[in-house]
Amino acid sequence: EEHALSCAGCGIHIQTIDKTKPGFTPKSALEREVIICQRCFKIKHYNEVSPVDMSDDDFLRILNGIGGTKSLVVMVVDVFDFQGSWLRGLPRFVGNNPILLVGNKVDLLPKNINLNRVRNWIQHEAKERGLRSEDVLLVSAQKGAGIEELLARIGQLRKGRDVYIVGVTNVGKSTLINRILHDYGAADLEITTSPFPGTTLDKIEIPLEDGRYIYDTPGIINRDQIGHMVTPADLRALTPQSRINPKVYQLNAGQSMFIGGLARVDFVSGDHQPFVLYVANQLYLHRTKLENADEVFAKHHGTLLVPPNGENGKTLPPMMKHTFKIEPNGPTDLVISGLGWVALQGKKPASVVVHAPKGVSVGVRKGLI
Ligand code: GDP
């Protein structure tokens, strides 16, 4: 049912039909004196920001709006899935506004990792993608690590301007916003969002001391993310839940490694060498002979080789092969976007084939560790 009402919090058009769409309000709530949408209700009473369903066009319109403002843009990426979490085209949208890059989920990286190296690496990758950032900060929105530094750095870089937080879905933007709301003690936060002209969608505002705001923008879906190809249960099964313990396999040419039923790494030729897997600790890894690998996959996919569990694999895109010649140029990672990476020392040449569902981006990078 449509109502000629708007939310007292964000100004959005109130509707009682679709829970997943903006402006949803349960019918019972229409009796209240002040009507706010369910999303604003949750923000106001639980400090909880829930995602909204919106089209790519809506999102792009919002991003485009940033170009016309004077602001600091904070772009959030997922350090575990840099490739899958990259928001494309941002430099086009933000005009001359400075950008601060935030690598979230740093809690997943192994203990022995050099965080400066990770920051430099992110800076470098950003540049390759045409984005110049003022700085790169690493945080864990979930654990609260690096948040104080982030807020301090935002304070320095914004120079009295507003702040826009942007990112694709699943990078942990909501978790970060909730963390900031929480740390600001903003339980009594007044929701006074002002919609961008031309959109029906609002954004979350967190007031700053000088009358400026931190704005949350809705995340866009990056369809390369493996999370968009599997079921929610399978996504849980492949997502790291805690700090990654690298797993070392000393492989000979002619051996294959299965990463659950989602990827396979064939060591086609080269001298005996370690393959170090950086994937979710709970994922089942299986070593087999390359010559048997097709048969093993056909027989055990969905049972032993999971995720995908059971029949779920049937709806997954077909496996694609990616061939790599690794030269002895030092540490190299074979990255399977969303799933993790396989580190090679790059001391000896190796010929490797990676199988992953079509659409999952697979590539090599300079070793992160
Ligand atoms: P959004 O779509 O960008 O708003 O992302 P969410 O905040 O909903 O987070 C997506 C997923 O990443 C959820 O499963 C979160 O629990 C998880 N997540 C968010 N922040 C962190 C973090 O700092 N560390 C880890 N390990 N997971 C996180």
Instruction: Record the pTM.
Output: 0.83
Burial class (CB in 10 A: 0-12, 13-18, 19+), 18: exposed
Say how many domains are in the chain: 3
Q: Do both 241 and 204 map to the same domain?
A: no
Centre of ligand 1 to C-alpha 105, Å, is 7
Is 83 inside any structural domain? yes
Token pair recorded at residue 204? 């979350």
pLDDT at 208 over 60: yes
Q: What is the pLDDT of residue 22?
A: 79
Centre of ligand 1 to C-alpha 216, Å, is 15
Q: Do both 238 and 167 map to the same domain?
A: no
Is 227 inside any structural domain? no
Nearest CA to ligand 1 atom 22: 105
Average pLDDT over residues 334-353: 96
Average pLDDT over residues 248-261: 98
Q: Which of 47, 175, 228 to mutate to test the pocket of ligand 1 (most atoms within 8 A of CB)?
A: 175
Q: Do both 211 and 62 map to the same domain?
A: yes
Of the residues 181, 216, 251, the one at which a domain ends? 216
Work out the pLDDT band at 1, boundaries 50, 70, 90: low
Per-residue pLDDT tens digits for 161-186:
999 999 888 898 888 887 887 776 54
Q: Do both 61 and 210 map to the same domain?
A: yes
Is 342 inside any structural domain? yes
Q: Do both 297 and 208 map to the same domain?
A: no
Work out the pLDDT band at 272, boundaries 50, 70, 90: very high
Q: Do both 211 and 158 map to the same domain?
A: yes
Amino acid type, 70: K
Residues with CB under 6 A from ligand 1: 51, 104-105, 107-108, 140-142, 167, 169-175, 219
Q: Do both 83 and 111 map to the same domain?
A: yes
Structural domain boundaries, residue 212: 56-216
Q: What is the pLDDT of residue 169?
A: 80
- Weakest mean pLDDT among 179-183, 227-231, 289-293: 179-183
- CA separation for the pair 241, 225 (Å, rounded): 17
pLDDT at 88 over 60: yes
Could you tell me if the ipTM is greater than 0.90?
Answer: yes
What's the angle, vertex CA 40, arms to CA 39 and CA 42, rounded to 5? 70
- CA separation for the pair 37, 14 (Å, rounded): 7
Is 221 inside any structural domain? no
Q: Do both 60 and 205 map to the same domain?
A: yes
Q: Do both 98 and 180 map to the same domain?
A: yes
Is 14 inside any structural domain? yes
Q: Which of 48, 87, 142 to mutate to test the pocket of ligand 1 (most atoms within 8 A of CB)?
A: 142
Q: What is the pLDDT of residue 305?
A: 96
Higher pLDDT, 175 or 42: 175
Per-residue pLDDT tens digits for 92-138:
888 899 999 999 999 999 988 899 999 999 999 999 989 999 999 99
Centre of ligand 1 to C-alpha 19, Å, is 22
pLDDT at 198 over 50: no
- CA separation for the pair 246, 283 (Å, rounded): 12
Compute the mean pLDDT over every residue in the chain, rounded to the nearest whole number: 86
Token pair recorded at residue 177? 């916003």
Q: Do both 128 and 271 map to the same domain?
A: no
**241 Cα nearest atom in ligand 1:** 26
- The phi and psi torsions of 184 (rounded to 5 degrees) equal -85, -5
Nearest CA to ligand 1 atom 15: 172
- CA separation for the pair 41, 35 (Å, rounded): 9
Q: Do both 212 and 68 map to the same domain?
A: yes
Q: Do both 160 and 292 map to the same domain?
A: no
Q: What is the pLDDT of residue 52?
A: 54
- CA separation for the pair 133, 342 (Å, rounded): 28
Nearest CA to ligand 1 atom 6: 172
Centre of ligand 1 to C-alpha 170, Å, is 6
Distances (CA, A) of 237 to 180, 256, 305, 307, 340: 28, 21, 12, 6, 13
Centre of ligand 1 to C-alpha 232, Å, is 14
Burial class (CB in 10 A: 0-12, 13-18, 19+), 55: exposed
Token pair recorded at residue 103? 């690598």
Q: What is the pLDDT of residue 47?
A: 58
